[in-house]
Amino acid sequence: MRLELVRRPESPWFGIVAPLLAVALTVASGFVLFLALGLDPVETLYQFMLAPLTTFQSLTELGVKGAPLALIATGLAIGFRANVWNIGAEGQLIIGAIAAGGVALAFWNEAGWWILPLMLAASVAGGMAWAAIPAFLKTRFGVNEILTSLMLTYVASLILQMLVFGPWKDPDGFNYPQTRLFSEAALLPVLIEGTRLHAGALVALLAALAAWFVMARTVTGFEIAVVGDAPQAARFAGFSTRRTVWLSFLVGGGAAGLAGAFEAAGPIGQLVPVLTPGYGFTAIIVAFLGRLSPPGIVAAAALMALTYIGGENAQITAGLPQAATGVFQGMLLFYLLATDGLLRFRIRLTGARSPRAAQP
């Protein structure tokens, strides 16, 4: 017997069915995994997946953690659509946060309205500048952007450490590796009093809306899609691959940098050696889970935020290591890729004497 895959006609349903199926399979696998780890699977899954949805406070936390994910993933998705693989968003986020933090620290004893906008502008510029390095190396020398953007993430992380362990360390901070707390003028406004939900969530939604319009309705979006789908056709049309690479990196880097400012000026309120639990990497999964389309990305970001909050919950209540979050995220992407394949192709079992023409 052999497995044979036969291509099925495309159906718009696949785009919705595959993610739902992937979530269901991830939950089922989580059940087995928790059982194997000697945990009560029902209780742990409840803490992981459902408990965060039961209180208002934790629902707003979905927004707090979902906002940076959605913002970064929206930016990255544009590049992924064009087959430009910026996987260094975490580094661009860090540099964005450093740029914003630099502004905040430079004016820490002033109280102008202009401080926050300046911080946000600096973070976008910082993220773009960091993303410009792999863009330049790719367009000028043909260097693989996957490796360079990733290596620069390690470098960015070390720069942040160098600053908070060194010159930017809070002089009144008992030698802890962190900066001063930002002044009131350098903090994002909170949307709902008594929660951590900040204005960055609104910006993320607006960014998703804007990205949706650009990708679905404009020549620029069409250009990106053609470069990704059929690079030769893009050249025929007179679209520039180089331009698309730059655009992808600048938008992705700018969005990640902005997300960095939101983290520093939002829930954290200062710079610390580790700013995020890997939002820049998780956003890659968010982008795929959301089918590279902004509305899907917003939904996927909420789901991923849930795995973070649920992971923290289960850590407290069930003693589950924080790493479980990464396992869930990885499984989710695996299952999405697999269900995608399974839905695009029909599996056919063929007789034992079938030749190796098995892959359609």
Partner 1 sequence: MIDFLIPVMAAAISAATPLLLAATGELVVERSGVLNLGIEGMMLMGAMAGFAAALLTGSHLAGLLAAALAGMLMALVFAVLTLSLSANQVASGLALTIFGIGLSALVGAPYVGQPVPALPKLDIAGLSDLPVAGPLLFRHDGLVYFSVAAVAATWWFLNRTHAGLKLRAVGESAQAAHALGHPVIAIRYAASLFGGAMAGLAGAFLSLSYTPMWMEGMTAGRGWIALALVVFSAWRPWRALVGAYLFGGVGIVQLHAQGAWGLPSEMFSMLPYVATVLVLTVISARSQAGGTGSRAPADLGKPFRASR
Partner 2 sequence: MSAVPPRLALAGITKRFGAVVANDDISFSVAPGEIHALVGENGAGKSTLVKIIYGLLRPDAGVIRWNGETVAPTDPHAARRLGIGMVFQHFSLFDAFTVAENIALGLDAAGDRRALAARIASVSASYGLPLEPGRAVGTLSMGERQRVEIVRCLLQNPRLLVMDEPTSVLTPQEAEVLFATLRRLAAEGCSILYISHKLDEIRALCQRATILRAGRVVANCNPAVETARSMAEMMIGNELRVTKRMPSDRAPEKPARLSVNGLDRPAERAFGVALRDIRFSVGPGEIFGIAGVAGNGQGELMEALSGEWRTSAAAAIAVDGAPVADRGPQARRLAGLYTLPEERNGHAAVPGMSLAANTLLSARHHMGLTRAGVIRRDAARRFAQRIVSAFDVRTFGVDVPASSLSGGNLQKFVVGRELLQKPAVLVVAQPTWGVDAGAAAAIHIALADLAREGAAIVVISQDLDELLSLTDRIAVISGGRLSRTLQTAQVTVDEIGLLMGGAEGETRDAA
Q: Which residues contact partner 2 (rule: CB under 8 A)?
A: 10, 217-220, 222, 225-226, 229-230, 232-233, 235-238, 240, 353-357
Which 8-state DSSP code applies to residue 110?
-
- Residue 233 partner contact from partner 1, partner 2, none using kind-dependent CB cut-offs of 5 to 8 Å: partner 2
143 touching partner 1, by CB under 8 A: yes
Q: Alpha-carbon distance 247 to 252, whole Å?
A: 8
Q: Toward partner 1, which CB reaches closer, 3 or 28? A: 3
Instruction: Tell me which residue of 86, 107, 146 sits closest to 283, measured CA to CA.
Output: 86
Q: Which is nearer to partner 2, 169 or 344 (CB)?
A: 344
Contacts 24+ apart (CB under 8 A), 218-227: 220/247, 224/78, 224/81, 224/82, 224/248, 225/81, 225/82, 227/82, 227/83
Pick the stretch among 149-157, 229-237, 253-261, 262-270 that binds partner 1 (CB under 8 A).
149-157
Residues 228-247 that bind partner 1 (CB under 8 A): none
Does 161 participate in binding partner 1 (rule CB under 8 A)? yes
* 158 touches partner 1 by CB under 8 A: yes
- Residue 166's Cβ-count burial label (10 Å; 0-12, 13-18, 19+) is exposed
325 binds, among partner 1, partner 2, none (CB under 5 to 8 A by kind): partner 1
Q: What count of Cα atoms within 13 Å lies in the side-chain half-sphere of residue 339?
A: 23
Report the alpha-carbon distance of residue 307 to residue 48 in Å, rounded. 7
161 contacts which partner out of partner 2, partner 1, none, CB within 5 to 8 A by kind? Answer: partner 1
- Residues ≥6 apart with Cβ < 8 Å to 189: 198, 199
Binding residues for partner 1, rule: CB under 8 A, are: 3, 5, 33, 37, 85, 87, 133, 137, 141-144, 146-148, 150-152, 154-155, 158-159, 161-162, 165-166, 281-282, 284-285, 288, 321-331, 333-334, 337-338, 340-342, 344-345, 356-360
